[in-house]
A and B are shown apart, each in its own frame.
Chain A
Amino acid sequence: MTAQTETKPRKPGLGILKSLLLMLPISLLSFLFLTGGPPGGDPLRFIAGIVTWLALNTLFFLMLYTGKTYRYRLVLFVALALTLIITFAASILSTRGSLALTEADILQGKTPFCHLVIPTIIIPALFTRTIIFPGSLLTGFAPIASMLVIWAGATLALGRGWCSWLCFYGGLDEGCSRILKKPVIKSIDRRWTYLPWAVLLGVALLSAATLSPAYCEWLCPFKAVTEAAAITSTLILIQTVIFVTLFVGLVVVLPILTRRRTQCALFCPLGPLQSLANKINVFDVRIDPEKCSRCKLCMRSCPTLSLDEASLESGRTLMTCTKCGQCVDACPRKAISFHIKGTKVGIGANVARVLFLYPTFIFFSAFGGGIIASAILNVLKLVTTGRMY
């Protein structure tokens, strides 16, 4: 007869006092980021900042107190993606007067820059010292340099965590992936996970050859909900049809049917770059093989297909892990945890998680929080003045 030893799962959350104390620095920093200090100028702006600040800090507190990451992150992440659409539309309308991108806008550098362009600009920037994007380097809405600085800092701090905490598009397919309780399509052939590498290679080479951002011009699904060129030719019509088809397919339908982030896991060309950044990032998610019962709940729940059978044996997630916390929360034996490289797996898991959440939330407060606060401001302005901007 063999005695089965049952490891008692660790208590995931922190106490109220500890959670409040740990929340304090984030509260102060986020207050500065979101309100710009004490009330002064625009009261509506201050109200929008305070509402965002309260929401962010409540969710951060709940993350600390309950020990659950994914469900609260999901709320923030979806809110970020939805409010981006409002903020984007209002900013574009105020600067350009129309959502449709014209050739004159392109000549004048009035296109907002986003992180999905980054894989396409690297080779031309190295060879020609130019950015192949019709935006502005330092001025206007979403200038190129600001996005590059934020992306570089966040990538250094979070690796592919960018994709689950700061990407302002990811919440759209993640939100859709939560609509059904159970997936209709239960399995995705793992070979599809190589597709983003092919997309990356294709758009990087095509962009270098043509000196134009091929992904933006031909493949970006999010053009369907942000901006697209005014349809003045058959070519632009074809491009628009591609954008809408990819959006409906990859961001809406497939996430609903599979309960996975299909655009992020199977298509986005920035994903592979962030995966490489995971290699040098200090944070990762690890599995304690001794605690793991091989129930595979983590594999089934991972939104980006970043766990496989080999992961359970090796105790390591795949390099595509976005550190969303879904597997950490889902594991019934608490065998999965946030981890700092170089430290022992499972030891000090709460410390590792808090050290990961801190830079993540500071970034989110300033970057994502700013987007959410702007959207709330736009709505408040619409209600009080009849104009969004």
Chain B
Amino acid sequence: MQKLKGILGYTWAALLIPLVVATLFGMGDWMELLVSSTGLTVSPWFSGDVVARTVAHAGYETRIHRPVFRALIGERREGFVQVDWGPLEALPAQVDEEVDFDGDGQADFRVVLDTASGRATLTPLTEYALGLAGAYRLDDAWAVRAALKNPRR
């Protein structure tokens, strides 16, 4: 038994060498496999989640992301929705737009954004819009996050 355990130990130790080489040489493939097989994504609390709807304007577009309420289990009472305007060079000096974040046909808040300074104001139009969470200059867009009350809770 001791001999068998010894053989197994040496075998396992020796097998680690090709395993390590395979890990390093196949790095790109392993990364892809990890992401595709698990379906992992970056938390929407950081990424702002995927774009749900796009509104085209003259030369630029408004991208309304999916609202973020996700909790560890279920949903939180409050969250946010991210709205982007881009590309930067096509934006007017001031963006003034009413946003319907849940697609129910009724605008939920109005954003006025000075695209030179990034100063933004947000006016709630429904009970679900709570206020401005932040305005951010991205690589090729301005983004605003509006704090929301979860309509489902």
Taking Cβ atoms with an 8 Å cutoff, the residues of A that contact B are: 29, 33, 103-104, 106-109, 123-125, 127-138, 143-146, 148-150, 152-154, 156-157, 208-209, 211-212, 282-283, 340-344, 351-352, 355-356, 358-359, 362-363, 366-367
Contact = CB atoms under 8 A, between A and B. Distances in A.
Nearest to A29: B21
Contacts of A106: 46
Interface string B11-42: 01110110111011001001110110011111
Give the size category of B's interface with A.
35 or more
Contacts of A137: 35, 40-42
Contacts, number: 144
A149 B6 CA distance: 29
Contacts of B136: 103-104, 107
Contact of A153 (B12, B23, B46): B23
Contact of A343 (B10, B45, B72, B143): B10
Contacts of A107: 46-48, 82, 136, 138, 143
Contacts of A283: 13
Given A133-B42, A342-B5, 5 more contacts: A130-B41, A137-B35, A137-B41, A208-B72, A359-B17
B9 interface: yes
B2 interface: yes
Contact of B43 (A138, A143, A211): A211
Interface string B139-153: 100010000000000
Nearest to B6: A343
A178 B130 CA distance: 55
Interface string B111-122: 000000000000
Interface of B: 2, 5-6, 8-10, 12-14, 16-17, 19-21, 23-24, 27, 30-32, 34-35, 38-48, 70-73, 82, 134, 136-139, 143
Contact of A149 (B16, B27, B70): B27
Contacts of A108: 138-139
B29 to A, nearest CB: 9
A104 B138 contact: yes
Contacts of A154: 20, 23
A128 B12 contact: no
Residue from the set A125, A143, A149, A352 with the largest chain B CB neighbour count within 10 Å: A149
Contacts of A356: 13
A344 B72 contact: no
Contacts of B6: 340, 342-344
Binding site of A, secondary structure by majority: helix, strand, loop or mixed?
helix
A41 B27 CA distance: 22
A51 B16 CA distance: 27
A300 B87 CA distance: 62
Given A153-B23, A342-B6, A343-B6, A358 B40 contact: no
A183 to B, nearest CB: 35
Residue from the set A107, A131, A137, A358 with the largest chain B CB neighbour count within 10 Å: A107
A208 to B, nearest CB: 5
A138 B41 contact: no
B100 to A, nearest CB: 22
B109 to A, nearest CB: 19
Contacts of B10: 340, 343, 351, 355
Nearest to A148: B34
A282 B13 CA distance: 6
Contacts of B139: 108
B113 to A, nearest CB: 14
A341 B40 contact: no
Contacts of A366: 24
A106 B16 CA distance: 37
Residue from the set B2, B10, B31 with the largest chain A CB neighbour count within 10 Å: B31
A135 B17 contact: no
Given A149-B27, A342-B6, A209 B46 contact: no
B42 A144 contact: yes
Given A130-B70, A138-B31, A363 B24 contact: yes
A143 B24 contact: no
Given A211-B71, A359-B20, A136 B27 contact: no
Contacts of B134: 103
Residue from the set B8, B16, B136 with the largest chain A CB neighbour count within 10 Å: B16
Contact of B31 (A130, A143, A352, A363): A143
